[in-house]
Structure 1
């Protein structure tokens, strides 16, 4: 009797917890600069770091920067299907092929389908079934497959109408002085300002995303927030190294790439968890975690749920563990009863926030947890 060939091992470990759901793919790219998390966890990466999975960019970039174990947690299985896809691509393919398959560089649809066939076998059954059912997303490059990316493409098309001959010149600038002068003289037009009011307002965002994303957010002007962030990015940060801006304006990565696409990533140190962040922490022993990266999930939670989350963070944190969280359009503070155990370094967080190139974020908080 002939033996059946053994199935190849899956690229990453994956665990499912109660409460996981199958939802839309909201994020194909994490609209947060992972260099902030990398800086925040410097010297604190010698143990498990729990990260919101989202599109996987932060989790994979932390591994690329040397973290010993990263647990990417997302209640939406679809998001973790994407993280698994990215991990398989960068671990199984040559770098140029992985970049093309994901959509970071030009590749014809047939070549993307062929590259997918090379990684399909190492995906878990759920991820494989999902991507088999979404061939167009693969053919187009999965970095453009999310709900957010559809909105960003609309913004990019509108921007090319507002500045039909200026985007290439913008990307060619090489000094901050050049950027500031170009912005003042040519970029900061009435059309540029109107773009934010038309496409980055509360109504558009609420129609784009699930309403629960903003259920606990109070922000008087989304448009003003995004315009201020964009102005800082274009006048205060190096454009030449901004892969977020390059991908938005050109559809691909040019001079720069995310850390997980710029070097080797030990994906065997990645563990995917389908479930809530609080639910995952409840499975962990006391004092077992080296770090936590919450992204902006506190904006989606009620005050009681935020308090429950911080209770588990304090319980599971090693002494001196690092916690970071972000705000997209809302504002989160450490719950009052946990402020003795969770101490925010606001000055350091604000310093790092000024370096964020993502064009989206409002706040970055960095805390030390001492139970």
Structure 2
């Protein structure tokens, strides 16, 4: 079976819940087709929340879904014993492997040029001279392969964070904001939360009254660019009593108003489509110079695979893992898929193991769906979950949930 066909089948199993010729089924297949390429150039879950939830120490063995790879790289700042990383997107796997090898072989300055600035004309040559000879054949071929007229690695000379499905979505959102007269420079220069609130009230809140914004927000396909499949869109809308518009408005307000923009790199990702150009702005942990030595030292302890999380765990020994990062993947799953995943999580969990995940809606999605005999072995952490939900600076999810294994 070809890699492309295997990828299509894996993504279909994860996303397709309805018949192909139904309206929702066609949307699901449109969505899964996007995941065959690069979706997230950077991840949209706050790694500081993950690390607090997981209580990472040097003896811990972790499991994580990759997405853009930023968070698993940030976990390395805590020097875990190992991380098993998986993703169904070959592009995400290639990106994760590129980041790991770059941490191993580059200097901190070179590493930051590639993933911090991500727009240096010298980056493709840096790849050719330092990284290409060190990468596995599949990853090397991916980055040397072509998209349109240029090699994929050339994205790092042109502003990598503007690429991928999310990057194109943010570009479209900027264009829509421009049509509405919004300029984000004022927000990014704000010095206080009061100035950020004033910007939201005067510039952003009125946009939600525009007919075009209302029309687009209420189309399920319009949010594919945020990585939101039809099943997750419905969970978002449920929080707004069937209307996704007030939910989106609330979460954008949280992103703009609840955290100082000088400390929130997710705000820069959304409103600047990249980190601050002079390198002085907020950054994810793995790009902070003070963590580089720890990230470099631990990078060899990571394995990255292009398979499902359930399949990866099935090959792991009993009681061998201490932390699991599921992102929002469970929002996509059927009850059968959820139970298969949690059976493997429970089998491989060591005493005190922790699971952290996000949901598009606010409620925890496991009760009533995962078998009770499995859930009885886990203890939900309501206080910590509420705390981390409030502190997640990405602001895109309804909630963060944490479970601890009771044995």
Shift in alpha-carbon separation, 1:34–1:196, aligned structure 2, 3 A: farther
**Aligned position for 2:155:** 140
**Aligned position for 1:155:** 173
**Aligned position for 2:404:** 368
Larger RCO of the pair (alpha carbons < 8 Å, separation 6+): 1
Question: Size of the alignment, in residue pairs?
Answer: 350
**Aligned position for 1:3:** none
> Which is richer in helix?
2
How far has the Cα of 1:229 moved from its partner?
0.9
- Counterpart CA distance in 1 for 2:186 and 2:10 is 45
Considering only aligned residues, what root-mean-square deviation do their CA atoms show, in Å? 2.7
**Aligned position for 1:346:** 382
Matched, 1:233 2:255: yes
Shift in alpha-carbon separation, 1:27–1:36, aligned structure 2, 3 A: same
**Aligned position for 1:181:** 198
Alignment of 1:63-74 (within 5 A): 63-74=76-87
Task: Note if contact 2:265-2:282 (Cα within 8 Å) is conserved in structure 1.
Answer: yes
Matched, 1:261 2:274: no
Q: 1:93-127 CA distances to partner (integer Å, 9 max, x unpaired)?
A: 2333333323635423xx12112212111211111
- Counterpart CA distance in 2 for 1:73 and 1:148 is 20
Matched, 1:116 2:127: yes
Task: Note if contact 2:162-2:274 (Cα within 8 Å) is conserved in structure 1.
Answer: no
**Aligned position for 2:59:** 46
| Equivalent residue in structure 1 for 2:312, among 277, 280, 284 | 280
How far has the Cα of 1:59 moved from its partner?
0.8
Alignment of 1:303-342 (within 5 A): 303-328=335-360, 332-334=365-367, 335-337=370-372, 338-342=374-378
Matched, 1:89 2:106: no
Using the TM superposition, name which of 315-324 and 61-70 deviates more.
61-70
How far has the Cα of 1:198 moved from its partner?
4.6
Task: Note if contact 1:233-1:359 (Cα within 8 Å) is conserved in structure 2.
Answer: yes
- SS of the residue corresponding to residue 132 of structure 2 reads helix
For structure 2, which runs of at least 5 residues remain unmatched after alignment? 1-5, 12-34
Task: Note if contact 1:51-1:294 (Cα within 8 Å) is conserved in structure 2.
Answer: yes
Task: Note if contact 2:169-2:226 (Cα within 8 Å) is conserved in structure 1.
Answer: no
When the two structures are superposed, what TM-score results if normalisation uses the length of structure 2? Answer: 0.78
Shift in alpha-carbon separation, 1:137–1:193, aligned structure 2, 3 A: farther
- SS of the residue corresponding to residue 303 of structure 2 reads strand
**Aligned position for 1:214:** 230
Q: 1:30-60 CA distances to partner (integer Å, 9 max, x unpaired)?
A: 1111111011112556221100111111111
For structure 1, which runs of at least 5 residues remain unmatched after alignment? 1-15
Task: Note if contact 2:114-2:120 (Cα within 8 Å) is conserved in structure 1.
Answer: yes
Shift in alpha-carbon separation, 1:48–1:102, aligned structure 2, 3 A: same
- Counterpart CA distance in 2 for 1:261 and 1:222 is 34
How far has the Cα of 1:359 moved from its partner?
3.8
Matched, 1:36 2:54: no
How far has the Cα of 1:210 moved from its partner?
8.5
When the two structures are superposed, what TM-score results if normalisation uses the length of structure 1? Answer: 0.85
- SS of the residue corresponding to residue 387 of structure 2 reads helix
How far has the Cα of 1:270 moved from its partner?
1.2
- Counterpart CA distance in 2 for 1:261 and 1:206 is 29
- Counterpart CA distance in 1 for 2:249 and 2:283 is 24
Q: 1:287-331 CA distances to partner (integer Å, 9 max, x unpaired)?
A: 111111111111121111101111111111011101111113585
**Aligned position for 2:143:** 131
- Counterpart CA distance in 2 for 1:242 and 1:198 is 30
Matched, 1:170 2:187: yes
Q: 1:329-360 CA distances to partner (integer Å, 9 max, x unpaired)?
A: 58522425122112111221121111112142
